[in-house]
Amino acid sequence: MIASEQTPDAAVIYNTLLELYLQTWAKLDSKSQPTERVEQSEKVMKLLKESSMYAKDQALVLCQLYRFDKGILHLYEQGRLYQQVVRYHMDHNDYDEVIASCKRWGQDDPHVWVMALSYFAGKEDDLKLQMKEVLANIDEQKLLPPLLVIQTLANSKVCTLGVVKSFIMDRLLKENEKIEDEERLIREYVEETQKLRQKIHDLKTKPQVFQTSKCCVCKYQLELPSVHFLCQHSYHTPCFDSYAENENECPVCLEDNRKMLEVIRQHESSKDVNLTAAFAKDLKQEKDGFNVIAQYFGKGIFNEGKCLLVDLLTSQIRS
């Protein structure tokens, strides 16, 4: 009786038992002894599924040596070797199992669909249905660009334009929609930037009229003495003194400004790290170090103040 607890010799014992089971299974004739062969096959699979004491790599070698396919596939799946599972079915030209395996494991390893595309493209059989299903999944998961799909299918003897037409058209339509959305966003950002620039210019060059009639804290009619900010929020001086954290920032805008400043600082910090790493790499590789320094000086790597918006947010004026 084999111990169920882990011991130094447990793997050797279990693998020896597995080999004996496989030897017995291999000696049984599938035609004259079908029942005994099936029973022995179930015995092998029970050992593989219910025990974790054997060495999996050696077990896989044994299953391959005795051509025990069920064990091979089980060990592939147990080891998350999904591409090997698909490759196994490809080697046996089992088209349905190739598709079934891709469906089963495609979420864990999307590359199996790319393997299936190359595989079906190299076949001479009529596999239009399989090709359409593979292309649909590649499109859904955006695994390959259209050009690479066309290049993969270019040498196929059975894949016609009709098979890939819908795939190409769908991808082109989606790309056009994406381009249109990005162009719309660009226009919106340009308009918003122009408005902000104009607003900054007006703040710097024109007198500002404060039209707020009520205190933003107590909501009563605004009376002197009062405090006004360029964001158009106004306060009674006593209300402001009791409500504000510091005298230079609008209490209403303070939280949003802090969040915005933190986002800007994080962005600037990340950009600086990447730019500094690129600068160090280029400086090391290029012979003309002065030219590299001049280029990165133009990119602002040596600038202390980099963002006008930071200065604007931190320079709220108390009037």
The per-residue pLDDT for range 174-211, each reduced to its tens digit, is: 888 989 999 999 999 999 999 988 888 887 888 877 78
How many structural domains is the chain composed of? 2
Q: How many CA atoms lie within 13 A of 120 on its CB side?
A: 27
Asked if residue 246 is part of any domain, the answer here is yes
pLDDT of residue 191: 93
Asked if residue 125 is part of any domain, the answer here is no
The domain containing residue 60 runs over which residues?
1-79
pLDDT of residue 305: 47
pLDDT of residue 308: 40
What residues in the chain have per-residue pLDDT under 70? 1-8, 158, 267-277, 283-291, 296-319
Q: Considering 56, 79, 102, which residue would you say is the last residue of a domain?
A: 79
Q: Considering 47, 79, 111, which residue would you say is the last residue of a domain?
A: 79
pLDDT of residue 184: 94
pLDDT of residue 309: 40
C-alpha angle with apex 117: 113 to 118, nearest 5 degrees? Answer: 120
The two tokens of residue 133 are 């299903």
Asked if residue 189 is part of any domain, the answer here is no
The two tokens of residue 316 are 């709220």
Question: Among candidates 156, 69, 147, which has minimal Cα distance to 119?
Answer: 156
pLDDT of residue 251: 85
130-143 pLDDT tens trace: 888 888 888 888 78
pLDDT of residue 110: 85
Asked if residue 134 is part of any domain, the answer here is no
Please name the amino acid found at residue 91: D
> What is the number of residues in the chain?
319
Q: Considering 79, 97, 117, which residue would you say is the last residue of a domain?
A: 79
Q: What is this structure's pTM?
A: 0.53
Asked if residue 139 is part of any domain, the answer here is no
pLDDT of residue 180: 93
Neighbouring CB atoms inside 10 A of 152's CB total 19
pLDDT of residue 133: 84
Name beta bridge partners: 221: 214
Asked if residue 14 is part of any domain, the answer here is yes
Greatest extent of the chain over all pairs of C-alpha atoms, in Å: 108
Asked if residue 66 is part of any domain, the answer here is yes
Asked if residue 303 is part of any domain, the answer here is yes
121-168 pLDDT tens trace: 888 777 778 888 888 888 888 787 888 888 877 777 767 777 777 788
d(CA 142, CA 137): 8
pLDDT of residue 303: 57
C-alpha angle with apex 195: 193 to 201, nearest 5 degrees? Answer: 100
